[in-house]
Amino acid sequence: MASARSAVATPAPSPTRRRAPQHAPQRAPRPEPRRAPAARPRARPSARRGPRQRLRHRGAISWIAAVALLLAGVVFINLAELRLNLRVEQATQARARLRVEDAALQSQLSSALASGRIQQLASTRDGLVQADPSTIGYINLGR
């Protein structure tokens, strides 16, 4: 039994126990890449636009153009409406003037056709006399 006691029992590695990290051999630092001498200044990044940015700008420009066209159409329609309103106003004024003239002519006509005035003109100017109603006879045509 002595041999069993002399053997030192080592515990089995548990799955939760971590091993000490083993260090990788160190590498020499990389030399920095050589840069070309700057002979001329770089172009601004805004001058170099990718196709996606160009499409975005084209879309914005097309929207601005569409809105400008719509606004121009609204202005054109408003001007056309103003011209039409002026024509309507002129027609309304002409209509009112014609109504006044018509009323004056109607008044002149009615005074000219008055039977009393006609009888007076006939007797004074032409010497005509009104016929006696008892001397008027009617003819029956057989109808």
pLDDT tens-place string over residues 8-22:
556 665 556 566 666
Q: What is the pLDDT of residues 89-123, one digit of tens each?
A: 999 999 999 999 999 999 999 988 888 888 888 88
Residue 44 has what pLDDT? 60
> Would you state the pLDDT for residue 73?
97
The model's confidence at residue 143, banded by pLDDT at 50, 70 and 90, is low
User: How far, in Å, CA of 102 to CA of 99, rounded?
Assistant: 5
Structure tokens at 22: 């083993």
CA 48 to chain centre: 36
Instruction: List pLDDT tens digits, range 31-74.
Output: 777 776 666 666 565 555 566 666 677 888 999 999 999 999 99
Of 102, 134, 133, 130, nearest to 116 (Cα)?
130
Sequential DSSP letters for 32-66: PPP-----SPPPPTTTS--HHHHHHHHHHHHHHHH
Question: Cα–Cα distances in Å, from 15 out to 12, 19, 48, 140?
Answer: 9, 10, 57, 147
pLDDT of residue 92: 97
The pLDDT value recorded for residue 102 is 97
* CB-based contact 122:128 (threshold 8 Å): yes
